[in-house]
Every structure is written in structure tokens, then in C-alpha cells.
Amino acid sequence: MKEKLIQPVSGYAALGGLLVLGLVALALALGGAGMLTPVVALIFMLVLPGFFVVNPNEAKILVLFGNYAGTVKQDGFWWSNPFYSKSSISLKARNLEGDKIKVNDLLGNPIVIGAVVVWQVEETAKAKFEVDNYMQYVKLQSDAALRHLAGAYAYDHFEDAQQEITLRSGGDLINEKLEAELHERLARAGVNVLEARITHLAYAEEIAHAMLQRQQATAMVAARTKIVEGAVGMVDLALKKLAEGDIVQLDEERKAAMVSNLLVVLCSDKAASPVVNAGTLHH
């Protein structure tokens, strides 16, 4: 069902006409035409229900005997067919901060994820007639979209996650994908999604500690790899400088010992304790 905008009669103009009719009826009654008084009273009773007010950021949906007549979105004081039934619907932007839900990511890890959605009604006819309760529809579909998104990506980068985009590192791209899916899901209810973003993301409590240890181990391995790469470069540079300056001649055995000692010093996580070799004293 498509929205149909209608332009009702100004309520002030209709009220002025009703007052004129009342003055005419009063004049006729004073002139002795008392038979017209019931007719005028009936007209008043029929006309008065046609007046209605549309507040800013609000719409009135008009229905005539079960048929959708149209929607009035322009705020003001109006008059329309008094037989129209009128229902209000808000056009204001609303925030939906969904519950934190527990779901499995792409790798099967249980995670807890939450999102906030900013939305507003755009197609009043769809919101009123296409779904039973558009506010509940928005909440349920938002949870469903969040669950689907969480199951399509891994929480973080690991050796068994082939995707470049993850929930943790995706940032704006993940939010855009969530917003796009919500647009598709909520279009049936005439709802426009203004913004959608992840507000909470964490491993479920039962695996949080193990995953923290895994992240720490991964970070430690990466750091050690950098340290070893740097140490090997420094040892290579030291050997070249010794050879170029002809400072000391080392055979392969002494060179291997020196490399071993330098790597231990450079790669150790503790400060090295210097040892002075005084050699053998001869008298």
C-alpha cells in the first residue's frame, strides 16, 4: 500500500463558514422560521467532527468506512469529511537501543553484541496497514538483522579466519552493512533508518578469559618476532663491522658463540649481567 497525501480544507475557513451558518440560522429563528432550527443543529453536529489538528512532526491517517483515504502531514488546523476516522502517527526520529544479545560469530565463538538504531516513519500507510505493530516490528527486525550480521563475520582476526573484515576491526563498514540490511528489512513497514551502529561487542563470559589469553599470546608472538628480526640484523651488522675494521679475528666456533651470546642478550626480556673476563695472570 502506497502513501497518498491529501490537502484538507483549512479549519479556520470551515469554522468561519460554520459561524456564518449559525448567524443565518439565528436570524431565521428570530424571523419566525423556527422549523429550520433542527436542520441547522443537525448540520452543526455533522460538521463539527470534521475538525482536527496536525501537530509538527505528526501525520493524520484518514480512513472512510474501511478504505484508506489519505494522509495529512502538513501541520495546522484542518477540516475534512466528518465521516473520516482519524489516527495519529509520529514522524519524529526515534532511538532504539536494543538488548545485548548472545550469538555465535562466523567461527562459532559465542559473543555478546548490541546496537543502536535511529529511525523514523516515512511511509505512513505502510506503517499503519502493512504490519500489525510497526514499533514492535522495528525492534524484532533490528534484533534479527544484528544476529545475521554477527553470524556473517568473525569477531577478530585469527589464523582460521580468512576474512579481512571482522566485527572488531570493521568499524564504519560493519555499521554500513547493518544499516543497509535494516533498510531492506524495515522498508515493508515504511520505516527509514537514519543511522545504525554497534555499541557493544565482547566475547561471552564463558570464553572471555580464554580468548583474552589467546589475544595476549598472539600479541606476544608478534612482539617476539619483531625482536628476533631486529636482533638478527644487529648481530649481522656487528659481525660485518668487526670484519671490516679488522678488530678481531674470529674462527667459526668463536663466531657462533658470539652470535649465540648476542642473541641471548638482545632477545632476553631481562637485563643482561655483564661479566668481565680478566684472562690468565702470568708472573
DSSP conformation letters of 158-221 = -TT---S--TTT-THHHHHHHHHHHHHHHGGGTEEEEEEEEEEEEE-HHHHHHHHHHHHHHHHH
Cβ within 8 Å of residue 49, ≥6 positions away: 82
- Nearest Cα to 111, choosing from 241, 203, 232? 203
- Please give the average per-residue pLDDT across 108-116, as a whole number: 89
Tens of pLDDT, residues 229-277: 776 777 777 767 666 666 666 666 666 766 676 666 666 665 555 555 5
pLDDT above 80 (res 189): yes
pLDDT above 60 (res 47): yes
Instruction: State the chain's mean pLDDT as an integer.
Output: 81
The C-alpha atoms of residue 67 and residue 280 are separated, in whole angstroms, by 112
The C-alpha atoms of residue 131 and residue 170 are separated, in whole angstroms, by 33
Query: Coil, strand, or helix at residue 70?
Result: strand
pLDDT of residue 167: 87
Tens of pLDDT, residues 12-44: 998 888 888 777 777 766 666 555 667 767 777
Tens of pLDDT, residues 119-173: 999 999 999 999 999 999 999 999 999 999 999 988 877 654 455 788 888 888 9
How many C-beta atoms lie closer than 10 Å to residue 179's C-beta? Answer: 18
pLDDT above 70 (res 278): no
All structural domains of the chain: 9-90 (no CATH), 94-203 (3.30.479.30), 216-267 (no CATH)
Q: What is the pTM of this model?
A: 0.68
pLDDT of residue 43: 78
Looking only at Cα atoms, what is the longest distance across the chain?
153
| Count of positions (residues) in the chain | 283
The C-alpha atoms of residue 96 and residue 194 are separated, in whole angstroms, by 11
Helices marked H in the chain = 11-30, 36-47, 124-129, 134-152, 172-186, 205-244, 252-267
